Amino acid sequence: MEKITLNTLPQDIVNQIAAGEVVERPASVVKELVDNSIDANSTKIQIKIENGGIDLIEVSDNGVGIPQESLDRVFMPHTTSKISSLEDLNTLLTMGFRGEALSTIQSVANVNLISKYIDSDVAGEIVFKSINDFSIKKAARETGTVVSVKNIFGNIPARKKFLKTAQTEYKKILDVLYPYFLIYPNIHFTVVKDSKTVIDLKEIKDSKENTVVKERVDEILKEDFVKRMLKVFYDGSGVKISGLIGHPSDHQKRSNHQYIFVNRRPIWDSGIVRAVLSGYERYIPHGERVPFLLLIDIRPDLIDVNVHPRKEEIRFLNPFRAYSAVEEAVKKALSTTMSYKLESEYKPSTTQTPSLVNTDFQGKRYKSKDISFKQTQSGSVRDSLLFSKEVLDDTSYIKNDSQQDDVNTSFRNIFQIFNKYIVIEFENETLWIVDQHAAAERITFEKLKDSKAIKSEQQNLLVPISIKFSEKEIVVLDELKGFFNDLGFEYLIQKEGIEILSTPVEFVGADFRKLFDEIFELSEDISYISKNIDRLREDILATISCHGSVRSGQSLHREEMIDIYKKLIKCENPYSCPHGRPAVWKLRLSDIDSNFERTY
Ligand code: ADP
Ligand code: MG
């Protein structure tokens, strides 16, 4: 057997090994250099890229600069001005802290740094060949720093081989830069690509770092959905959340515009993404995505930023706290914006007398909600939700003012087709096709959410219903007794199952075995349900609603149809069922006419 010798590696090899983790490609260099410029309080940062960063990456800033006497040290391993002890990591708010970026970059490329310190009269330039071979001389420069990195991996052919084309590397650089552009509206960024200025983002006046300003976001993403984005805000238990989330009507199969920042650090955390989507659960169809930019600020001691070589991930000490804060922030933003907009849209007409549909059984007026769908060619959820764009778009609201509020107009006809849809013809030349099951589900869902309403309509069963359940299920049902009781379901726990004594009126005759089975299916392990009842609450309500509702295939009396219509327009979110399917499809006479190519 060959003799094993243990070698202590020389520092330059150690650096190169570390570089493999920190510096993966030109984009990683850009990230580290921009981080440094930001840590130096710069308000102007220019990024120059040549040949996808393979030939040159140069980042210059107007930050505080580096004192002349420290210049020789910035490229030394583990040299940082940002922390001096382990405890400092717990209060860390700077982007860098390991003091390894410049030292690893210099080990894989040719670097040159010029800096003028804010309190110094002259600038200094350091040309770095290796730890033992560098030179420093005086130079001329305004306050701030410029770092040039040339010929990346020129000394490591094996790594250079793995770089992609210049265009791909450039795209990866942009991927790295976009998040900075988004949350530093206070910084003027320019990108010069192969000698051409390709991005020039002036600072937004009076804006602060670590905020998202629509103007800046719009400038960068150039997407239509930006103007419809909703603001989020949350502050509690050591977590602060702000940012923008997509309007529900802007859901899509995939979204490339999902950004998460934790204490200004762009990171990726699938738990956060899931939490955002749970916030949208009743607003968008299952499996769809939405664009969002979330800024999470959390006490530095509640996270560990030191878990990823390129700091692209972090660890939450209590992930659940962060996730539930995110979910709550999203829900709050959605519910307040949507209901505010719907209410503000209601304008009582002075000339019209309250019509049948605008009066409930007691004859009291209630606020009606316009459900107007712009596109009628397709029944997809996306199209149906387009109406809410209209609702949010004030100009279009004014434009449509003349034909506002169908519910102010009484209907001429209401009837059922295929035992599945309710068709309503309004006097203002509008037609609604209502999916009776989706509508009824939505109504029951919102009623269940308001437990007072449900309690008042609780009904005792003449003959209690006994249903058998497994031991594990009984344990869960026992734990959930209070929860169900609040919803109007009362049952006794028995040896082999439960005995249902009373239910909300809608559920008399429901298939309870199926209902509970579907609730159990909401969780992989049913014992998880009672532990997570707050999180699962809406899922459970949606599942229950499905069972207490008018089904598809059920024939309806005229009164039942009117009742569904009237209750639906009272709903906070009348346009889709709790699973996100559309409930109403609105057609204008003009849409029908144009389909027949009629011009009169
Ligand atoms: P870290 O950012 O983890 O401290 P770096 O290797 O990235 O480590 O940088 C080393 C040090 O060089 C920093 O701590 C900082 O003092 C200084 N430095 C680097 N870039 C800049 C810059 N653009 N402006 C001012 N100081 C800088
Ligand atoms: Mg750094």
Of 300, 95, 65, 286, nearest to 209 (Cα)? 95
pLDDT in tens, 136-194: 999 999 999 999 999 999 988 888 888 988 988 998 899 899 999 999 999 999 999 99
**CB-based pocket (< 6 A), ligand 1:** 32, 36-37, 40, 61, 63-66, 74, 79-82, 96-103, 145
Distance separating alpha carbons of residues 105 and 394, to the nearest angstrom: 51
Query: Are 184 and 209 in contact, with CB atoms under 8 Å apart?
Result: yes
Q: How close is the Cα of 550 to the center of ligand 1, in Å? A: 66
Ligand 1 closest atom vs CA 102: 6
* Predicted local distance difference test score (pLDDT) of residue 357: 29
**Of the candidate ranges 239-253, 306-320, 335-349, 427-441, the one whose mean pLDDT is the lowest:** 335-349
Specify which of 17-21, 419-423, 589-593 reaches the highest per-range mean pLDDT: 419-423
- In Å, how far are 2, 272, 305, 371, 420 from 263, measured between CA atoms? 51, 14, 10, 40, 51
Distance separating alpha carbons of residues 395 and 227, to the nearest angstrom: 13
Give residue 404's pLDDT band: very low, low, confident or very high (50, 70, 90).
Answer: very low
Q: How close is the Cα of 32 to the center of ligand 2, in Å? A: 5
pTM here is 0.60
Return the residue matching tokens 């309870």: 512
Alpha carbons within 13 angstroms on the beta-carbon side of residue 304 total 9
Ligand 1 closest atom vs CA 79: 10
- If one residue of 64, 83, 84, 102 were mutated to test the ligand 1 pocket, choosing by the most ligand atoms within 8 A of its CB, it would be 102
Nearest CA to ligand 1 atom 21: 36
Give the containing element (helix H, strand E) for 175. helix 166-183
Structural domains in the chain, sorted by start: 11-201 (3.30.565.10), 223-340 (3.30.230.10), 386-600 (3.30.1540.20)
Query: Are 235 and 325 in contact, with CB atoms under 8 Å apart?
Result: no
Residue 384 has pLDDT above 70, yes or no: no
**How many CB atoms sit inside 10 A of residue 481's CB?**
16
- If one residue of 29, 36, 111 were mutated to test the ligand 1 pocket, choosing by the most ligand atoms within 8 A of its CB, it would be 36
* Predicted local distance difference test score (pLDDT) of residue 483: 92
Residue 434 has pLDDT above 90, yes or no: yes
Residue 81 has pLDDT above 80, yes or no: no
User: Which of the two residues, 372 and 119, has the higher pLDDT score?
Assistant: 119
Residue 308 has pLDDT above 80, yes or no: no
Residue 405 has pLDDT above 90, yes or no: no
DSSP class of residue 203? Answer: P
Residue 367 has pLDDT above 60, yes or no: no
Distance separating alpha carbons of residues 405 and 354, to the nearest angstrom: 12
Please work out, in degrees rounded to the nearest 5, the angle formed at the alpha carbon of residue 148 by the alpha carbons of 174 and 306: 60
Distance separating alpha carbons of residues 401 and 345, to the nearest angstrom: 10
Edge-to-edge strands, sheet with 497-504:
458-468, 497-504, 490-493
Edge-to-edge strands, sheet with 133-139:
133-139, 123-130, 110-116, 144-150, 56-61, 44-50, 188-193, 196-201
